[in-house]
Amino acid sequence: MGFRRLEHFNQALLAKIGWRILEEPQSLIAQVYKGKYFPSGTFLTAQARSCPSWGWQSILFGHQLLESGLRWQIGNCQKAPLLTSSWIPQQHPLHPVYNPCVVPDGEGLKVEEVIQQGEGRWDDKKLSQWFDPVTCKAIKTIPLSRQNIEDKLIWHPTSDGIFTVKSSYYVAVNLDRQNGRWRALASWMDKPELEADIPPKLRVFVWQVLHRILPTTEALREKKVDVVPRCPVCWEALETLEHMFLECPVARALWDHSRLAHLGEDLPRHTFPLFLKKLLAVVHSPALVMSVVAVLWRIWRSRNWVVFEGKQFGIPALMRQFHQQVQEWLSLPRDQTDQLAPPGPYRNI
């Protein structure tokens, strides 16, 4: 009926005050709060400190919302932090995904570190070494200014970069919905339907499959993303969950070679989440549960290698990876499965 959620609307109004402090640092309100709460820093790094006033606590509540929608607009690349800020417009989240083993340690790095000085273009060598392929591709689409225009903070949800209460209200609503999903996920992970102690990243993966939120081409098309609807692995059909995990030639080969295909012969296959839920209900051995999840994970990983890296592994190589993964999980003590880090060398901050 158009009624606003008062808490979100109040937070949007408070975020507007924070936007004014950012945009008008010489205003009276900005000078007063800077002198008391962040004399040697900036509004974005300000903290509550000891005995904060009611007004400052309220502004910090709006600060949380404001921070989620701010993005650096790239100019001369001298002010925007390289690793600790949002500055990539084509990617969500807008932070770069980087390799901490290669990138020099230091929070003071600016975007100019990945620019070829004097040539006005991105340093392809550093980009490929420091960041993951998706981040590299997104960075290269950002045009570089030939004029000495400073980087500046803009409001990403609007097309002109200007903060509005209306747009910030919808950002607050969406963030609340996302937090609700993660609370539901945490609750599901605390009382999992799986009898085996698989690593958390795989529990998240299974939860995504059961809720049909994996970014298949079918799901992306429903979100109005312009992608080719065909399966990127076989190009034989629309990439749905049912096709990717059951009907694709690579998926069928992995199920057959892993000797798990017989487990789901009598289960309904028209809806894959239902198929998976019933399959997990009839599998009682922890080793079998891990094997089922490992097959699904290997199918998903092989699909992503094709999409993002242009690599396609043969079935023998995928089976070696499958067996190695299952043995690794089975060899872990129970109290270590919750301490596994996300896969790969890249870190998303």
Contacts of 342 (CB under 8 A, 6+ apart): 201
CA distance 83 to 98: 8
Q: What is the pLDDT of residue 187?
A: 54
Q: Which one of 153-167, 202-216, 229-243 scores highest in mean pLDDT?
A: 153-167
Q: How sure is the predictor about 121, in pLDDT bands with cuts at 50, 70 and 90?
A: confident
Considering only CA atoms, give the Rg of the chain: 24
DSSP 117: T
Query: At residue 102, does pLDDT exceed 80?
Result: no
- Among the ranges given (100-114, 191-205, 256-270), the one the predictor scored with the smallest mean pLDDT: 191-205
Query: At residue 196, does pLDDT exceed 70?
Result: no
E-assigned strands of the chain?
70-73, 97-98, 115-116, 121-122, 152-155, 347-348
User: Angle CA(243)–CA(245)–CA(251) in degrees, nearest 5?
Assistant: 100
The distance of Cα 129 from the centroid of its chain, to the nearest Å, equals 20
Q: How sure is the predictor about 345, in pLDDT bands with cuts at 50, 70 and 90?
A: very low
In this prediction, residues 317-337 reach a mean pLDDT of 71
0.85 surpassed by pTM: no
Closest by CA to 167, choosing from 8, 2, 7, is 8
User: Tens of pLDDT along 165-189?
Assistant: 999 999 998 888 766 654 554 554 4
Question: Do residues 78 and 150 make contact, with C-beta atoms less than 8 angstroms apart?
Answer: yes
Burial 209-243 (b: 16+ CB within 10 A, else e): bbeeeeebbbbeeeeeeebeeebbbbeeeebbbbb
Q: What mean pLDDT, rounded, does the chain reach?
A: 80
User: Tens of pLDDT along 279-308?
Assistant: 877 776 777 788 888 889 989 988 888 888
Strand-strand pairing, 152-155 and 347-348: unpaired
Which amino acid is residue 321, in one-letter code?
A: Q
Q: Which two tokens stand for residue 258?
A: 């892993």
User: Tens of pLDDT along 200-227?
Assistant: 778 888 888 888 888 888 888 877 777 7
Closest by CA to 317, choosing from 329, 301, 341, 331, is 301
CA distance 102 to 83: 13
Contacts of 217 (CB under 8 A, 6+ apart): 227, 228, 229, 230, 231, 232, 238, 239
Q: What is the pLDDT of residue 341?
A: 36
Query: At residue 72, does pLDDT exceed 60?
Result: yes
Q: How sure is the predictor about 134, in pLDDT bands with cuts at 50, 70 and 90?
A: confident
Q: Which two tokens stand for residue 157?
A: 């949800």
Q: What is the pLDDT of residue 308?
A: 84
Query: At residue 332, does pLDDT exceed 80?
Result: no
Question: Do residues 209 and 275 make contact, with C-beta atoms less than 8 angstroms apart?
Answer: no
User: Tens of pLDDT along 5-56?
Assistant: 888 999 999 999 999 999 999 999 999 999 989 888 889 888 877 788 899 9
Q: What is the pLDDT of residue 178?
A: 67
Burial 83-114 (b: 16+ CB within 10 A, else e): bebbbbbebeebbbbbeeeebeeeeebbbebb
CA distance 96 to 110: 12
Bridge partner residues of 98 (DSSP) = 131, 347
